[in-house]
Structure 1
Amino acid sequence: MANSNHTSAGAWAKHYHLASRAMIERILRPYDLGSTQWYVLYQLANCGPTLQREFPQILQIERPALSDVIAALVRKGFVTQEADASDRRQRLLSLTKAGEELWAELPDPISMILNIAFEGVDESTLETVITVLRTATERLNNHVFQGVQK
């Protein structure tokens, strides 16, 4: 593992991502929630009712995976899925009363992770980390592959 690819910034970003995901799963396990379910609840609790079609972009997941997540939240009684008043073909998601109550008692795994991971790291270093990772992510997302065959 001494290869520079395994100790690169990208490798460490992946390690951080995997460690964060594992911690989110441990924090949410007692509530029978997964991380994507938590992010759906977060969106609905903080932004209000949201069209289901907006979630793939918000969460960066595929529609079939989203359908399973939404179905689980509806089945658990935390989310309602209704036809949108302006376009009956679209589904509007909202928190139920039980969803609101659950949200009020849920710990915030993101804040917990940030507090643990970055304890003692000064603000200017954090700003540098954010700038570097944001720039790298934007470059990758905006890169056009030329001459690559599918």
Structure 2
Amino acid sequence: MRGEDGGVLRDRQADACLPGGAAARVGGGTAAKAGANRRAFAERLSARTGLGLWEFAVLATLADFGPAAQREVGDRLGLDPSDMVRLMDGLMDEGLARRERDPADRRRYRLTLSDAGRETLGRARETLAATERETLAALTPDERARLHTLVTRLLTR
């Protein structure tokens, strides 16, 4: 948006110059951009790794938090136990994860990543990084860092 002097308005000035109701719609634009980014990532993820978003989330959770009971992983991701069973069955069929006895409690099983799962997760994370770089290309490095800080704050509250 250009000001009266023809210069580009800074972010904090832009909201004041938007016509009535437009400032509120900017939030909708943010959601639309996030949705487009999610779709782009999902399509690239599937094409490059064969994973869906939930499969990626399960593998990333196992990598980030280590071996865990299936229920723990499902709870961490907010997944229904029956959905978690389906996801794990698929990941195990593909050789990306496995169930093994918990050495601390031999009655219990825990989920772990296989070597193939780690390799697939690496490619998935590269795909995510590339999609994020493209999505945020219009932002300066400082703006990207600020966005990361703000989103982290929102997600940890």
Q: TM-score category by the smaller chain?
A: 0.5 to 0.7
Q: 1:22 corresponds to which letter in structure 2? A: R
Aligned pairs for 1:63-142 (under 5 A) are 63-88=81-106, 90-103=108-121, 105-106=123-124, 108-137=126-155
CA contact (8 A) 1:84 1:92 kept: yes
Seen in structure 2, the aligned counterparts of structure 1 residues 87 and 39 have a Cα distance that, compared at 3 Å, is same
- The 3-state SS of whatever aligns with 2:110 is strand
Secondary structure of the 2:105 match is coil
Q: Show structure 1 runs of 5+ residues with no match.
A: 140-150
Instruction: Give the root-mean-square deviation of aligned CA atoms.
Output: 3.1
Higher-Rg structure is 2
TM-score using structure 1 length: 0.68
- Within the candidate set 34, 55, 60, 1:42 is matched to 60
Counting aligned pairs with the same residue, the percent is 21
Structure 2 unmatched ranges of 5 or more: 1-19
In 2, the alpha carbon distance for the partners of 1:127 and 1:104 equals 23
Query: What's the secondary structure of 1:61's corresponding residue?
Result: coil
Aligned residues: 137
Give the conservation status (yes or no) of the 8 Å contact 1:52–1:90. no
- With the length of structure 2 as denominator, give the TM-score of the two structures: 0.65
Q: Distance in 1 between matches of 2:117 and 2:155?
A: 33
SS for the counterpart of 2:111 is strand
- Separation (CA, whole Å) in 2 of partners of 1:123 and 1:25: 25
Q: 1:12-33 CA distances to partner (integer Å, 9 max, x unpaired)? A: 3432332222122211223321
